Structure 1
Amino acid sequence: MDEREPGETDRLQQLVESIAAKIFNGTYAPGQKLRQETLAEEYDVSRTPVREALRQLEIKGLVVQQRRYGATVLAPTTKDIGANYWLRGELEGMATELAARWISDADLHRLQIVHAECVASVRALHETVNAAGGAPCPTAAEPMRHWVVKNQAFHALIYSACGNASLERSIRDLHLDYTRNILNMTVLGMHESRMRKNIEHHAAIVEALVARDALASRDAMRTHIQASGAFVVDWLEKRPAPRRSRTGRRF
């Protein structure tokens, strides 16, 4: 039983997510040792939450800990990431099939609203990026964040409507612990046709759910997640390797 206060639990989760993000983006390189005292100083916390964060990251498969040696980064390979998306596709497909049977009319209406907001956020993101004419575009951060939030809300509505708490929990853990940081990293790499395809997938999912077609709902979601995984793996494989300074640090 977790006896931590709610605020303490939130801070710990933020610490876990921040360390995980740096593992995913290469700041903490595979094989790098993560010292508790260094992390405590970097995040301005005591060693106790760092110790717990490393324990959770080990459970997630992002670090390995050995007695008298400490924690070492185990960054996932593209094969690991592809396998993760495959599993997400199967689980979210199953949840969408169940949601077709159990989702309420009110939640269907909310899903249609969120889908429309996703479409609007994609349009705003591309208008911002296109206006920059290929130059670095710091103003894209806000529409990008808005799209990520709405995309997460779209999926969350569906698997919360599946009527299976264990399945919902498994999907949330799998998505939040593994792919959210990757999604944040790759979203600006999505060219316009890829974003349009993402919206088309969402529209197909909504259409199948409105029709209460369980099998079509499952297939539409599985197709969507697997296509997203293929894009992410391709993006990561083509991404230039981080450069190293003379001290060995990546930048």
Structure 2
Amino acid sequence: MDDEDLNDKDLLQNLVESIASKIFNGTYAPGQKLRQETLAEEYEVSRTPVREALRQLEIKGLVVQRKRFGATVVAPTAKDISANYWLRGELEGMATELAVQWISDADLQRLQAVHAECTDSVRALYDAVNAAGGLPCREAAEPMRHWVIKNQEFHALIYSASGNASLERIIRELHLDYTRNILNMTVLGMYDSRMRKNIEHHSAIVEAMVARDPIAARHAMRTHIQESGEFVVDWLQKRPAPPRSRSGRRT
């Protein structure tokens, strides 16, 4: 990749998200140095976009950079993630309350349709997993991918409908920093009852929004996000540590 590719915002965002994902899943372990030349070779890019990606990751608190020492991984703690979900719950609750006032009938119908697609995806996901004896399987990959996309769309529709661009931007940044990568990692770890609870939460949000009840909508969204955060923290604390290679680095 040439340096001018730094202007490709999608490419840079993908680089940031990919490095962040490896920090969250333990591939890049806490305290590990991230060398620009190594990352450039790994991702087949020049050092310029890598340098910018590391700068953005430092702003997000995932790496720290020191002169002559380069970038070092600073993995978020359970406390960090819990605080992030708490804040996101408060902000998305506020956005949902505002959205009740401003969302159009057409967007409300779209929200209901996306919720229905989420429900269908969860059903297909667990049909596949249960058929495989409760284990991850190839057949689960597509409904899992579809659920992640539709879940993101569900939330995006709501905070976009809030009519508050600043609030929407802050929520998107919080979601990018932590929850998107963690969400992708935990989908198959969400046992059947947890996924049903997720759908129940969405149903309560939709019901409150259709009734144009801003207080109930805010409460339903806040409960949804904060309970999701509790699950994620519990999952992260219980997951086994990634295996180490002979060099001592996590694989």
TM normalised by structure 2 equals: 0.96
Q: Structure 2: which amino acid aligns with 1:111?
A: L
- Counterpart Cα distance in 2 of 1:205 and 1:106: 17
Note closer, same or farther for the CA distance 1:135–1:97 as it changes in structure 2 (3 Å cut): closer
Q: How many residues align?
A: 248
Partners of 2:81 and 2:73 lie apart in 1 by: 16
What's the Cα RMSD here?
A: 1.2
The aligned runs of 1:130-141 (5 Å cut-off) are 130-141=130-141
Tell me the amino acid that sits aligned with residue 176 of structure 2. L
Name the SS of the counterpart of 1:250 in structure 2. Answer: coil
Q: CA deviation at 1:177?
A: 2.5
Query: Cα deviations across residues 128-173 of structure 1 (Å, max 9, x unaligned)?
Result: 1011013441221111110000000000000000011100111111
Equivalent residue of 1:240, what SS? coil
Say if 2:72 is the partner of 1:59. Answer: no
Report Cα offsets for 1:208-229 as digits up to 9, x if no partner: 0011111100000000000100
Distance 2:212 2:224 in 1: 18
In structure 1, the residue matched to 2:243 is 243
Corresponding residue SS for 1:244: coil
The alpha-carbon deviation at position 5 of structure 1 amounts to 7.0
What are the ranges of 5 or more consecutive residues in structure 2 without an aligned counterpart? none
Amino acid in the other structure paired with 2:84: N
In the other structure, the counterpart of 1:190 is: 190
Fraction of identical pairs, as percent:
81
Q: For the residues of structure 2 that align with 1:156 and 1:215, how far apart are their CA atoms? A: 19
Change (3 A) 1:203 1:142: same
Distance in 2 (CA, whole Å) between partners of 1:7 and 1:128 is 41
Q: Structure 1 residues 215 and 181, CA, compared in 2 at 3 Å: closer, same or farther? A: same
What does residue range 26-175 of structure 1 map to in structure 2 within 5 Å?
A: 26-175=26-175
Structure-2 separation of matches of 1:136 and 1:208: 34
Q: Could you list the per-position Cα deviations for residues 77-129 of structure 1 after superposition, in whole angstroms to 9, with x for gaps in the alignment?
A: 11100100000000000000001111111111000000100100000000010
Structure 1 6/27 Cα, relative in aligned 2: closer, same or farther at 3 Å? Answer: closer
**Distance (Å, rounded) in 2 between the aligned partners of 1:176 and 1:146:** 18
Aligned equivalents of 1:138 and 1:84: distance in 2? Answer: 32
The aligned amino acid for 2:206 is V
> Structure 1: where are the runs of 5+ without partners?
none
